[in-house]
Amino acid sequence: MQIEIKPPYLLFLGDEPERSHAKTAVGIAHWRPELCVGQLRLPGSGVDLGFPDMAPADAAAAGAQSLIWGVAGVGGLIPEHWIASLFAAVDAGLDIVAGTHSSLSEIPGLADAANKAGVRLVDIRNPPTDLPIGSGEQRSGRRLLMVGTDCVVGKKFSALAIAKEMSCRGMNCDFRATGQTGIMIAGGGLPIDAVVSDFVSGAAEMLSPENDADHWDVIEGQGSLYHPGYAAVTLGLLHGSQPDGFVICHEAGRTMIEAFPGFQLPTIPQLIEQTIAAGRVTSPDIQCVGISLNTSTLPAKDRAEYLAKISDALGLPCVDPVATGVGPIVDYIVATFD
């Protein structure tokens, strides 16, 4: 599914207090900063991406063509007190691009206003209607899936970093986006968490089809097998992806499922074991090829020792994709699958 998003962008941050719930804007700001002209923050926002603060009219005057809905709260809904900003964007002549579960066209009056202004409402979470169920049939090519202990632990970032590292080495690879932010960055993909559950595995098979024997699909993960709300999409994506390898993604210091008090995160060994057990349904030889950790919560002086300790315990490369890069994981993949 290819998506046309007209740059430059104004990134909408609402009044979210935490960066973790502004992950769409954070991801675009990191991977596509050249396409961003400003940010739109409401009173109470705790997120600053370093772009100029702009109202929609100011952004349009600066050349912006699209307002990117940069927040991804629990459930993907649109808070009512943010809707005025959407009408202001339409009035300024901006397309609106959103990955919310609620369709932009369902907001009373917004579609009519967009039609009058000659702008588009682009719903990223709008999967094709003709998706098949999963077949489980083996297909050529290699696949690498990001697997998280929780949501917002770096699955998308890790996948993008690994795909970039592979490309820099001349390897045959593609990043496959499965969520709204990844789709906005890549310009295409499938919003896996918006697919009816019976068709999740089939959608994942479509996303990573047959390919050359040396080709790697680096697939953005979703949710967590241990998540009380989102485990279903994680399992369907795992079965449909049929990964040869997977990378565990985790945030150092996090012990509980975010926004779900009382639910503990699995340990990394537990998640490796569970992923292999579930993944063998469609990929008998599935294996873990590395650990990607967000260590931003740790003192910088403790990072190397922390990563080395986990690496030694598991016998796998353990990296922070921002601080150390993902080279050791790609080294391990090359040595393992060459």
The CATH number given to 142-337 is 3.40.50.300
Q: How do the pLDDT tens digits run along the chain, 338 residues long?
A: 778 889 999 999 999 888 888 989 999 999 999 999 999 999 999 999 999 999 999 999 999 999 999 997 555 568 889 999 999 999 999 999 998 878 899 999 999 999 999 999 999 888 888 899 999 999 999 999 999 999 999 999 999 999 999 999 999 999 999 998 899 998 889 999 999 999 999 999 999 999 999 999 999 999 999 999 999 999 999 999 999 999 999 999 999 999 898 999 999 999 999 999 999 999 999 999 999 999 999 999 999 999 999 999 999 999 999 999 999 999 999 999 97
Predicted confidence (pLDDT) per residue in 283-304, tens digit:
999 999 999 999 999 999 999 9
Q: Which fold has domain 9-123?
A: Rossmann fold (3.40.50)
Contact 42, 14 (CB under 8 A): yes
DSSP labels, 175-243: EE--SHHHHHHHSB---GGGS-GGGHHHHHHHHS----TT-EEEE---S-TT-TTTHHHHHHHHHHH--
Contact 184, 98 (CB under 8 A): no
Spans of all domains in the chain: 9-123, 142-337
Q: Which residue has the tokens 């906005």?
A: 184
247 three-class SS: strand
Same topology for domains 9-123 and 142-337, yes or no? yes
pTM: predicted TM-score of the whole model, two decimal places? 0.88
19 three-class SS: helix
